[in-house]
Amino acid sequence: MILFIEPATEGEFMYNSPELWQELFQRINVFWIHDRNPQRPYALFTSGLHAAGYFNSDVLFFEHPAHGHSAARGLAESLEADPLYEKPDRVIAPAMGGIALASGVAQRLGTACGYIMYTGAGKNKRFFVPERIRIKEGERVLVVDDVMSTGGSVEATIRTLEDAGAVVLPIVGVLCSYNVSETASGKKVVSLFRYSMPTWDQGKCPFGEEVLPALRPKQNWDTLTQTYPKGHGND
């Protein structure tokens, strides 16, 4: 089995299958899956949903920048290989998790980049184009993001860009998709890997009673991923 394509630069490896990307991200502690140990909290998404795992792009880009660069390049090449691909004028991601990714993808595609900001949280979240990002009327924009769970952030980004006069291209790139849907706002979703992530509303855990509160993952990464003594239900 071929585990990687030859590196483009020293220290950069391009994995050639979704399974190998997922294995890499788990090995370097970027992608965490709950082991159902009752002592380990679950993750709390910004949507309010609880989840049995999380993809942490902060760890990828800030702790493992070489792997982050490889992942951005891998996503860019997956997008270029798609029949719907059209060269963009700019690559845009929602802040904050997608900013480093947008920069890396734009570098590979040889184009400009930028980001969308938001205020509020949950149902009160409102997206907007910051003044420093100058979107021109008719500018062709490729949307990327680190993760797609419910698809809400990607769809809000698309709406915000279209309202600003951009032409959003027919494909969207994400590193990790939890969403079973292969589209977002009618755009095809291209991802490095997909994972069917269990999510649920508070109090409706499919694995039994939630003893501990769900935690915001990026702020509590060490707590979520540390080693816990094995307990009942964790063989």
pLDDT tens for residues 155-182? 989 999 999 999 999 999 999 998 767 8
- With respect to residue 96, please indicate whether it lies within any of the assigned structural domains: yes
For residue 6, what pLDDT is reported? 36
- With respect to residue 182, please indicate whether it lies within any of the assigned structural domains: yes
Q: Residue 41 maps to which CATH number?
A: 3.40.50.2020
Percentage with pLDDT > 90 across the chain: 62
Tell me if 5 sits within 8 A of 14, measured CB to CB. Answer: yes
Q: Count how many domains the chain has.
A: 1
- With respect to residue 79, please indicate whether it lies within any of the assigned structural domains: yes
Percentage with pLDDT > 70 across the chain: 91
Place 5 in a pLDDT band, splitting at 50, 70 and 90.
Answer: very low
Q: Identify whether 96 is preceded by a cis peptide bond (ω within 30 of 0).
A: yes
Structure tokens at 101: 């990714």
Bridge partners of 32, per DSSP, are 54
Q: What is the pTM of this model?
A: 0.86
- With respect to residue 231, please indicate whether it lies within any of the assigned structural domains: no
Work out whether strand 50-51 and strand 43-44 pair parallel, antiparallel, or are unpaired. antiparallel
For residue 207, what pLDDT is reported? 82
- With respect to residue 31, please indicate whether it lies within any of the assigned structural domains: yes
- With respect to residue 232, please indicate whether it lies within any of the assigned structural domains: no
The domain in which residue 127 lies consists of 18-199+212-225
Alpha helix locations (H) across 28-151?
A: 57-58, 65-81, 99-109
Angle at 230 between CA 22 and CA 38, to 5 degrees: 80
- With respect to residue 9, please indicate whether it lies within any of the assigned structural domains: no
Place 235 in a pLDDT band, splitting at 50, 70 and 90.
Answer: very low
Asked if pLDDT for residue 3 goes beyond 50, the answer is no
- With respect to residue 2, please indicate whether it lies within any of the assigned structural domains: no
Q: Which residue in this structure is represented by tokens 């790139």?
A: 173
